[in-house]
Chain A
Amino acid sequence: MYFRLAAVFLLGISVVVCGGCNGAREPDELAYSVAIGLDKSAKKGMIDVTYVGALPVVVGESGGGDKPKMTTEVTYTVPSLAESRNLLNSVTYFIPTLTHVKILVIGEDLAKQGIGDIIGPLTRFREYRGTNYVVVAKGTAKDFFKNNKPGIPGTASRYFESMMETSSETSYFLKTTLHEFYLRLKDTDGTSFASMVAVNPQTMEDFPAKAQTIGEKTEEYYAGDVPRVGSNPVEFFGTAIFRNDKMVAMLTNAETRSLAMLNGKYKQSYITVEDPLAPKHGINVNLRQGEKPDYMTEIIDGKPVVLVTILLEGEVTSLPSGINYEQAEYKELLEAAISQMIKQEITQLVTRTQENSADIVGFGYHFRNKFQKLREWEEYAWPEKFSQADITVAVKCKIRRTALMWRTTPKQ
């Protein structure tokens, strides 16, 4: 009898406790931060932390007038992220929570100064997660948020998430997560990189990053330099590369695409290549990665030697010259031209990474299997060997389709 009474009593309590009533917080009691910006502060030893809070979207509120704001920003100068979280509680009657943070934006100056002390602790705190995106802002994160005007309906969190998810459409910027960034901070086999974001001045001024690659019809740009007007002033473009925890250089959009190809994460994008038989024309090809890149590695007299072969498959989407590149003999010409152009781009990227001693591709991982024990691999000291590595790139491009036309008839 006593046992049954005790069981009923405990079950009764369970209904209350396990139902989540104890310590539960209603969604409208919480202030959801969807993005955090980190900048170097004017004050020594401090950082500027910007929180982007999501504003509730009122269902059914539409019609004329200004579009309702999706977010609100607040910036603090503080010695640590924890302190800024404390201060956040003083400006809102909601309880601050970081569980829905989507993106961490790091200002360029702070990234160059080193972010190991900031990124490391984030992985310890349960409100951050490995799937948070990490990007570097050209200029400051504060300006990035101030100028960010997506101009589309929806939620702020969805904007950041969808932006990063769509990176695979062009590979002009890459999806970089806190998990991957932190792993590479700790590993000696590869160095970290993060997508770049910037505020575009929208003046239509053309500032190409460098001279065009032979055979390419398009220019390369760094983040914030794309000549354009209109739409959201901010753009996701290029990559910031790190050596240890310090940003050492930026990559252009084409270099970023090459990085994706080397990592095997290139999904697809359009390229405009010079027509091999009518150079004044360009040919548009939709490229995709045919298979994961093949790395053949060797260590010869202590020196690492790599041959990386990349297979690309393409679909011709535009042939302004009217030359029948659909036919086998012309097709091979086009394939060779594309292969040569992509090879040059990738080789330039590899050279840049070696100059900066930043193995963002992660060539080191491919040498691990040459060793039996971890200690032997650590003693090989990959970061020192990377700059002297003999890296050869081979690109094979195959035109698989010619879109909705199978031949081009000349103008009569």
Chain B
Amino acid sequence: MNYQGGNMGIAAGTALVFAVTIPRMFLTSPASRLVEDAQIAWLSVGVSAGAAMIMIKVLLYIISRTGGDLIDGVRRLLGNSAAWLVTLVYIAIFLANTVLLLREFAENTLLTALPLSEFSLVTIWYAVWVTVFIYFGIEVVGRVAYMVLPFLVASMLLIVILLIPFYNVYQLVPWQGNGLENAIYHGLTMAGANVGAVILTIYAREFQQAKTTAQALAFGLGGSMLLKMVYAQSYLMTFGVYVGQEKILPFFEMARLVYLNRFLQRIEALLIALWVMVSILAIAISLYTAVYLIARILELPSGRPIVPLVAAIVANIAMMPPDIITVLGYEKPYLYISSAVIYAIPAVLSLAFWFKRKEVERCTSV
């Protein structure tokens, strides 16, 4: 885990952003969106991703001018203390994301695939594999992510297609659901669901140039946004607003419903393997980023020695909430806080950049 620079390209960047922003589609998020916005949930999803994309684009622009990565940019514009503060905020965001994803995916593994297994064992198992995985570094994680990406997208689209016999297009209307203004408001306040895409600014030095990160953002976050919107519509046409709100695992329920004939049914078992891969990737990227930032803030030559320690802490925290409903309750405040972070940091940096733009050395490549 050195941060002297790497050579990740658009594919790895796209895959990393996609892998870190898509996993909540496999969790309760689509159902929660239906509770908030009903038929217009798809717009809320789009607004969240669009808002996040704009704010991260602002960050990428600023650091393309200041040079280095996000921490370097903050240090240059606002000083060391601010850099510390921003780093601490992102450490908290990524650690919290790791805890929530770890717990939810572990619970869902029990629910869908291993009902007889011990919960703590599954959680530890996830944590151990994530630890081993991130030991190889972010470049390896990126490469694995773009190998998994085509299968992930193809499988999700396959489910959407195979469910066509169950679609009732009238479930999409009244098209404004709980209201256009509500959808935009919820979309903006839930932009934190895409906070993971900020890794492009954190690992800016690992990419070839500023254009690479900008394209990775557009393809990664744009792709995940499109898929989420398609999925929101597909889910709505299959389950409707009222039943759709009840499901804890919308993706799993959709996969379970696929029935073409006696020979093509019960395909969800194949897809469980896929979402386990996605979950490992998402947890790994979040945990790696948290460790990377800890190493940066403490000026450690490498973060590797603290990976198992941080993973153990995260796994223990993940096991603390008494039940899954409590964990789902933590999701909302986490997303609100992440949304605040998504807006606040680029806004403050933009102001600082505006005032100090002449002092900042122009830098065209990262």
Contacts and interface: CB of A to CB of B under 8 A. Distances in A.
Interface of A: 3, 6-7, 10, 17, 22-23, 123, 126, 129-131, 158, 161-162, 165, 179, 182-183, 186-187, 189, 362, 365-366, 368-369, 371-377
Interface string B155-181: 000000000001010110111111100
Given A126-B115, A373-B179, A158 B170 contact: no
26 contacts: A10-B132, A126-B111, A126-B112, A126-B115, A129-B256, A129-B257, A130-B257, A165-B261, A165-B262, A182-B243, A183-B239, A183-B243, A186-B242, A187-B240, A187-B243, A362-B170, A365-B170, A368-B173, A369-B170, A372-B176, A373-B174, A373-B177, A373-B179, A374-B177, A374-B178, A375-B178
Q: Name, among B116, B170, B261, the residue most crowded by chain A CB atoms within 10 Å (CB to CB).
A: B170
A161 B125 CA distance: 39
Nearest to A11: B132
The 7 closest A-B pairs by CB, nearest first: A365-B170, A186-B242, A371-B174, A131-B259, A368-B173, A23-B116, A369-B173
Interface in B230-268: 239-243, 246, 253, 256-257, 259, 261-262, 265
Contacts of B112: 126
Interface string B254-298: 001101011001000000000000000000000000000000000
A179 to B, nearest CB: 6
B78 to A, nearest CB: 39
Interface of B: 38-39, 111-112, 114-117, 125, 128-129, 132, 135, 166, 168, 170-171, 173-179, 239-243, 246, 253, 256-257, 259, 261-262, 265
B256 A130 contact: yes
Contacts of B166: 179
Given A7-B132, A183-B239, A186-B242, A374 B257 contact: no
Q: Name, among B116, B241, B243, the residue most crowded by chain A CB atoms within 10 Å (CB to CB).
A: B243
B119 to A, nearest CB: 13
A366 B135 contact: no
A123 B242 CA distance: 14
Contacts of B174: 368-369, 371-374, 376-377
A369 B239 CA distance: 18
Contacts of B128: 10
B263 to A, nearest CB: 11
A289 to B, nearest CB: 16
Contacts of A161: 262
Nearest to B37: A374
Given A368-B174, A374-B176, A377-B174, 15 more contacts: A6-B132, A17-B125, A23-B114, A123-B246, A126-B115, A129-B256, A131-B257, A183-B243, A366-B170, A368-B173, A369-B173, A372-B174, A372-B175, A373-B178, A374-B38
B33 to A, nearest CB: 14
Contacts of B179: 373
A23 B259 CA distance: 27
A179 B257 contact: yes
Contacts of B168: 365
Contacts of B257: 129-131, 179
A365 B169 CA distance: 9
A366 B259 CA distance: 26
A130 B253 CA distance: 9
B173 A187 contact: no
B262 A158 contact: yes
Contacts of B265: 131
A250 B347 CA distance: 65
Q: Name, among A6, A130, A189, the residue most crowded by chain B CB atoms within 10 Å (CB to CB).
A: A130
A320 to B, nearest CB: 38
B262 A189 contact: no
Contacts of B135: 3
Given A23-B116, A165-B262, A186 B240 contact: yes
Contacts of A182: 243
A7 B243 CA distance: 45
Nearest to B171: A365
Contacts of B241: 374
A374 B256 contact: no
A377 B175 CA distance: 11
A362 B171 CA distance: 12
Contacts of A189: 170
A374 B173 CA distance: 8
B194 to A, nearest CB: 26
A373 B40 CA distance: 9
A22 B173 contact: no
A368 B176 contact: no
A148 B41 CA distance: 47
A336 to B, nearest CB: 32
A3 B134 CA distance: 13
A292 B33 CA distance: 32
A366 B170 CA distance: 7
Nearest to B245: A186
A380 to B, nearest CB: 10
B303 to A, nearest CB: 15
Contacts of A126: 111-112, 115
A372 B39 CA distance: 10
Contacts of A366: 170
Contacts of B117: 22-23
A369 B173 CA distance: 6
A130 to B, nearest CB: 5
A367 B116 CA distance: 47
Nearest to A17: B125
A187 B242 contact: yes
Contacts of A179: 166, 257
Contacts of B177: 373-374
Nearest to A120: B246
A26 to B, nearest CB: 15
A10 B124 CA distance: 13
Contacts of A365: 168, 170-171
A182 B129 CA distance: 40
A19 to B, nearest CB: 13
B37 to A, nearest CB: 10
A244 to B, nearest CB: 14
